[in-house]
Structure 1
């Protein structure tokens, strides 16, 4: 924790060991931290010079005393912490100032690059080959996004494990990034994937379903995109292209918006327009989940797999939905669900 403020591991160990004590000597702290006594004395001297600790009782004697006596006296010296609000606040301010300077430099360099860079073909499209390289560039795109992520999900992950993708999604959502995903219908066949998606939607991810998608893709802040290559590298490794700002990137963003407009929302959300009705005349949460999947074109068998229930349960919930709607067909059910504000 304190290393983020510029303290080294040994300094942090001594600081935290001294924290619950009114005062302590170097031998006391050496025993508690496992550091050598001489190392502990050196750390305490440095911390005292930086104002992090204060000397309570100084038995060091004259500097002209024999070395053995000086070591004995230094071991008897006791130290206490300077209040953190006094000692650590300047370090925190300096770290904040350093971060602001770094952000300013980053913005200036980015703007300078945008205004002066000439984009030859080699700088518009970057080819990345190898599992580690592809995964690294993927994480750069997702973790670097500040405003928006646009994603096509198609097929099984190749270079980036799904759990790593989930972590990147969570990080982006925590930062308040606008995260929109269009998934191929087959992508959600796994019950685990469907559950992860429901969790992500609850955290703010927007998900729609398409019958088919032309490619797998992630677009970060409309500044750069990554598209996997079907043709592997010379050693059979996965590859991808990274597309920087250009007409090609604009076309990829346009393709995403087209697919997004045509895709179907997968799970029900509270839109604020639901018709008020008695509880017994409204679908349950489980029935609404079935309804959303059916309207997205998912078969009963696939819906059962995604929800982790039996086909009979899906059929029973569908039958009750049709009874509530007074519908004779699933087409009529969809029309009534839209009119009644069920979705």
Structure 2
């Protein structure tokens, strides 16, 4: 049990016996532990070095157990400080590694992943190996057959674990059936979502790996992707994401459970606030453009607005978006 803080099985046996007695001579510990005297002496030197035991000045020498809560806590704190130093050193080593791989083996900086199943597998694995944050451009088509009709369960699990997700959705995604429900589930768990016109599909895991689907005009599914390892290209993709993020429109879902709005009005307002046109909102909700316009007119009348901009202003004031 205590091997994690540097104690061998023999050290732990002697420590347990000493704790039970609170203080003991070497002879008593030899008898209790059924170990040779040389082994007990080595264990006691280790325990004293870690601050878990002290030796009395009176003869015969007696060893006294330090209270386990304070003694072991002190050892744990020392180990945690050491682990933090190791983490900092890992970062330094990673910087050196990245600097070296950029030029030593340029042919290994980009992998090509082929096959829809392999693309999905690497996409899931890349997320699961993310420590701090995932960033991405989201637009059709998708490798997963369900597209946005089902939530990304890997993302939801990682959000609960504290991994940050920042996603910029292309305006074309607003028209997809299930998009609003999917994004709502993510945002409620902590996803940060924005809308813009994005040039491609892209996913970036921390600052260590990017996935760039390989698509040709007319493709309706993702069957191949580039994996970009630390390199100037990866740096450029990260910079592109950050610039686009600053210019993108936040997805505003607001008080989705408010009693002031019907479920239909809530969904429509969320889409309109995200920049959806009547046509796009209609496709997302399964309505005709005329139905969308009728609901918009109804909202205008309800809040006393003459324009869509005024609807948005009043909806914001009331906490609807």
Q: TM-score, normalised by structure 2?
A: 0.59
Distance 1:110 1:146 in 2: 13
Q: CA deviation at 1:261?
A: 2.2
Q: CA deviation at 1:295?
A: 3.0
SS of 2:152's equivalent in the other structure is: helix
Q: CA deviation at 1:284?
A: 4.9
Distance 1:161 1:284 in 2: 28
Q: What corresponds to 2:164 in structure 1?
A: 178
CA contact (8 A) 2:120 2:143 kept: no
Q: What corresponds to 1:115 in structure 2?
A: 96
**Unaligned ranges ≥5, structure 2:** 1-79
**Pick from 173, 179, 187: which aligns with 1:193?**
179
Q: CA deviation at 1:269?
A: 2.7
- Judged with a 3 Å threshold, the aligned counterparts in structure 2 of structure 1 residues 123 and 265 are, in CA distance, closer, same or farther, namely same
**Pick from 220, 229, 235: which aligns with 1:244?**
229
1:153 aligns with 2:102: no
Q: What corresponds to 1:303 in structure 2?
A: 281
Q: Aligned runs of 1:47-62 on 2, under 5 Å?
A: none
CA RMSD of aligned residues (A): 3.7
- Judged with a 3 Å threshold, the aligned counterparts in structure 2 of structure 1 residues 122 and 267 are, in CA distance, closer, same or farther, namely same
Q: Deviation per CA, 1:124-164: give whole Å up to 9, x if none.
A: 32232333432332122111112101111111213676489
1:228 aligns with 2:213: yes
**Pick from 282, 289, 310: which aligns with 1:332?**
310
Q: What corresponds to 2:194 in structure 1?
A: 208
- Judged with a 3 Å threshold, the aligned counterparts in structure 2 of structure 1 residues 288 and 220 are, in CA distance, closer, same or farther, namely same
Q: CA deviation at 1:220?
A: 0.6
Q: Deviation per CA, 1:276-302: give whole Å up to 9, x if none.
A: xxx99x555542432232233323343
SS of 2:280's equivalent in the other structure is: helix
Q: What corresponds to 2:63 in structure 1?
A: none
- Judged with a 3 Å threshold, the aligned counterparts in structure 2 of structure 1 residues 115 and 270 are, in CA distance, closer, same or farther, namely farther
Q: Deviation per CA, 1:206-257: give whole Å up to 9, x if none.
A: 22222x211101011122111012269xxxx932211122322222122112
CA contact (8 A) 2:124 2:154 kept: yes
Distance 1:298 1:205 in 2: 20
Q: Name the count of aligned residue pairs.
A: 229
Q: Deviation per CA, 1:184-222: give whole Å up to 9, x if none.
A: 122232323332222222222222222x21110101112
CA contact (8 A) 2:195 2:275 kept: no
